[in-house]
Amino acid sequence: MKTMPETMGESDVIDLLLAQHAMIRDMFDEVEQAPPDRRGEAFTRLVRLLAVHETAEEEIVHPYARGKIDGGDGVVEDRLTEENEAKQLLQQMDQAGPDAPDFTENLAALRAAVEAHARSEERYEFIQLRAHTTEAERRGMAAGVKAAEAMAPTHPHPGTESATKNVLVGTPVAMMDRARDVIRQALGKKH
Ligand SMILES: [Fe+2]
Ligand SMILES: [Fe+2]
């Protein structure tokens, strides 16, 4: 399935993140096109995908970019501000629910914010990161992102839910917190 970041093949972290940006755009299409009775579950899948993608960037890619690219701290701070704005919108939409009268309007605003953020990453962060890192470093980061995402699957296989413990449940903030916990575990970091 094209919206499962945990099964992606890209071995270079930049290629991997670009492919995830495309996946996020597809997931927005799915939510927009979902019939009203499927909209809530499509939105939940979008939130899971954004939770693992943004959290993997925050834990693995942005810290690396800070040290590697010109003006890295400023570039990363700008990206974190954008990510936090999107998270607030996600949280508001989750609280209002998929039947809220302004759901479509908020979804359009969220999409615009998330896509502008992805373009800024591509332009101001990823191009420089590719230029200032070795292939081995980028492979290492991709392995970290994939290991992290495998621990927080967006689509646990039916019947294995208890084994994989569908960790991404609850509100968007709860999902992001859980994604951060498992990513730190995958990286062998203390909480
Ligand atoms: Fe991001
Ligand atoms: Fe991104």
Looking at the CA of 59, name the nearest ligand.
1
**CA dist list (Å): 61 to 65, 77, 97, 121, 126:** 6, 13, 32, 11, 9
User: What are the tens digits of pLDDT across the range 34-47?
Assistant: 999 999 999 999 99
Cα 121 to middle of ligand 1, angstroms: 7
pTM: 0.88
Cα 83 to middle of ligand 2, angstroms: 9
What is the DSSP track for 16-32?
A: HHHHHHHHHHHHHHHHH
Question: pLDDT class for 177, splitting at 50, 70, 90?
Answer: confident
**CA dist list (Å): 71 to 59, 65, 117, 134, 138:** 19, 9, 18, 19, 20
Cα 57 to middle of ligand 1, angstroms: 6
Looking at the CA of 21, name the nearest ligand.
2
Cα 173 to middle of ligand 1, angstroms: 15
User: What are the tens digits of pLDDT across the range 137-154?
Assistant: 999 999 888 887 777 666
Cα 17 to middle of ligand 2, angstroms: 6
Question: pLDDT class for 163, splitting at 50, 70, 90?
Answer: very low
Question: pLDDT class for 1, splitting at 50, 70, 90?
Answer: very low
Q: Round to whole Å and give the CA distance between 87 and 115.
A: 13
Calculate mean pLDDT across residues 169-186: 85
